[in-house]
Amino acid sequence: MESSLISGKTKVCGIIGDPIEHTMSPAMHNAAFRKLGIDYLYVSFRVRKEELDKAVDGMRALNIRGLNVTIPHKVAIIPYLDELDPLAEKIGAVNTIVNDDSVLRGYNTDASGFLQALLEKGVEPKGKNMVILGAGGASRAISFILAERGSNLVILNRTLDRAKECAGRITKIFQREAKALRLNGENLVNALEKADVLVNTTSVGMSPDIDETPVPSKLLKTGLVVFDIVYNPIKTRLLRETEKTGTQTISGLDMLVWQGVLSFEKWTGMKVPVEVMREEAIKVLQNHEN
């Protein structure tokens, strides 16, 4: 059933961030609403840092059903929420809000979307050796959910202190040892020796710098699963070079789509076919390229 009529009963969802023009979420969610024929609409709102409190008041006053939260609000939003999912609280960042009669609950579907993308490809991270490149916000969501799931973690970052901070928090919160190393050739060689999965959370290789890679191809070995959370381009140089080893690759597009699917389920209580959102996201990315 396809329907795109807006009515007096239409439930509104959206995304807040700044800048917001390039978000793919409206296309993905509206395609899913249409596919399921449900009376929902998803729009983007540019919200400046200093007006975040007013945006949250507005969400309550206008009875907006759900919001995604993106840069620069993922951490700053937390004090305005009434309830927090335990993992989002540990991560210290929220990308999804559900509004139930003005009670706002925060979740982190970046983390759960990452995990789902791994599981979908048949990779169970429990007990596996995971090498994480980067120690920013995305790395934190990913490394925390992996720690919770029981992975062994090595975090490499250009700025060693940030890797140490991330690893230190993991040890404290999850009582799991996590190693922190500076991101350089020698440390990469050592870390990758015993690695099962490599996750790139840095922006290296992102458009327009599509000829860059965070890992020299000679270090990629057969059997090492590589997950690059960069989704533009869908196939980064790192993933292209990994494919040549005949090993499994996972694109940031999968994480993007799964975080969308999981947010959607929280707002609507309905399952959306993953392929609907994936196709829509690919369309938007192709339009960006043209």
Minimum distance from residue 204 beta carbon to ligand ATR (Å): 5
Q: Does 159 bind ligand ATR (CB under 6 A)?
A: yes
CB of 141 to ligand ATR, least distance (A): 8
Q: Which of 106, 134, 205, 260 binds ligand ATR (CB under 6 A)?
A: 134
Interface characters, 165-204, with ligand ATR (x: CB under 6 A): ------------------x-----------------xxxx
Our CB check for ligand ATR shows the closer of 138 and 146 to be: 138
194 catalytic per annotation? no
Q: How far is the CB of 261 from ligand ATR (least distance, A)?
A: 20
Q: Does 249 bind ligand ATR (CB under 6 A)?
A: no
Contacts 24+ apart (CB under 8 A), 98-105: 98/65, 98/66, 98/266, 98/267, 99/59, 99/60, 99/63, 99/64, 99/65, 99/66, 99/67, 102/60, 102/63, 104/56, 104/59, 104/60, 104/80, 105/81
For 208, residues 6+ apart whose C-beta sits below 8 A from its C-beta are none
State the distance between the two ends of the chain, measured CA to CA, in whole angstroms: 31
Residues 203-222 that bind ligand ATR (CB under 6 A): 203-204
Residue 264 vs residues 14, 232, 260, 271: alpha-carbon distances, Å: 11, 22, 6, 8
Q: Three-class SS of residue 81?
A: coil
Can you tell me which of 12, 136, 196, 274 binds ligand ATR, judged by CB under 6 A?
136
Part in contact with ligand ATR (CB under 6 A); list of ranges 48-56, 154-162, 250-258, 277-285: 154-162
* Half-sphere exposure at residue 67, Cβ-oriented, CA atoms within 13 angstroms: 30
Q: Does 268 participate in binding ligand ATR (rule CB under 6 A)?
A: no
66 phi and psi angles, rounded to 5 deg: -160, 150
> Judged by CB under 6 A, does residue 70 bind ligand ATR?
no
Residues that bind ligand ATR (CB under 6 A): 134-139, 157-159, 162, 183, 201-204
